[in-house]
A and B are shown apart, each in its own frame.
Chain A
């Protein structure tokens, strides 16, 4: 596909840098989180950031396939989060 973005030489690196910084912040919460649901929330936020990063990868490379990857990643993240919710039935770890 053809990509037309105004200021592509700085918009895409800045967006990727911001995504990497926010992934670092979420990773701090994932390592620090006192209870189990905190870590699950951090994993959910990380997969949302991953979907955003894959969409940016579609813009960077011009491959349409990355959008299918984004769809599948969102669905798998949803299934994983619901599976973690089922894990908490016997009490939070």
Chain B
């Protein structure tokens, strides 16, 4: 029974794998932005290759099942990692996804990463109520040094040199660069 069933299973797996590869290719060609193309390439394409490898393992009646299953596991392990790496790098490089009404969830994550690194929130979510001491960007303006002395928070200690050092050019560099010409 199994001797007659396994060749049929092999041909069915190979045909299904080819169909999934074709669907992934159509998705890569027709979907709107690079994240959805990533979705089509990494899920449907990897499933097609995995099905074809399983068909190879079934076609040999288990003689090369070890090699085929190893290649299958390598594909299943590396395809999601590569897709995640490229899509995250694309998002950090500033490529905007075509989003619906739910918005871009990874942009909120990037904003929270910025808060954790001490850069403060972006312009949309400023928690300034009445000039509290935890507001690092509001208190670190160059108009008054007395407010900074009154605040004395540990967040201001991190925020002060990063905000003031681009404004204060060290004197004496400009005659060196211009005098050589």
Please report A residues at the B interface, Cβ cutoff 8 Å. 1-8, 11-12, 14-15, 18-19, 21-23, 25-26, 28-29, 33, 35-38, 40-42, 44-45, 48-49, 51-52, 55-56, 58-59, 64, 67-68, 70-71, 74-75, 77-78, 81-82, 84-92
Of listed A1, A37, A41, A82, residue having the most chain B CB within 10 A: A41
CB interface residues, B 34-85, toward A, < 8 Å? 34, 37-38, 40-42, 45-46, 48-49, 52-53, 55-56, 59-61, 63-64, 67-68, 70-71, 74-75, 78-79, 81-83, 85
B contact face: mostly helix, strand, loop, or mixed: helix
Which residues of the partner chain A approach B70 to less than 8 Å between Cβ atoms? 67, 71
Interface size class, chain B? 35 or more
B residues near A, CB below 8 A? 6-8, 10-11, 14-15, 17-19, 21-22, 24-26, 28-29, 34, 37-38, 40-42, 45-46, 48-49, 52-53, 55-56, 59-61, 63-64, 67-68, 70-71, 74-75, 78-79, 81-83, 85-90, 92-95
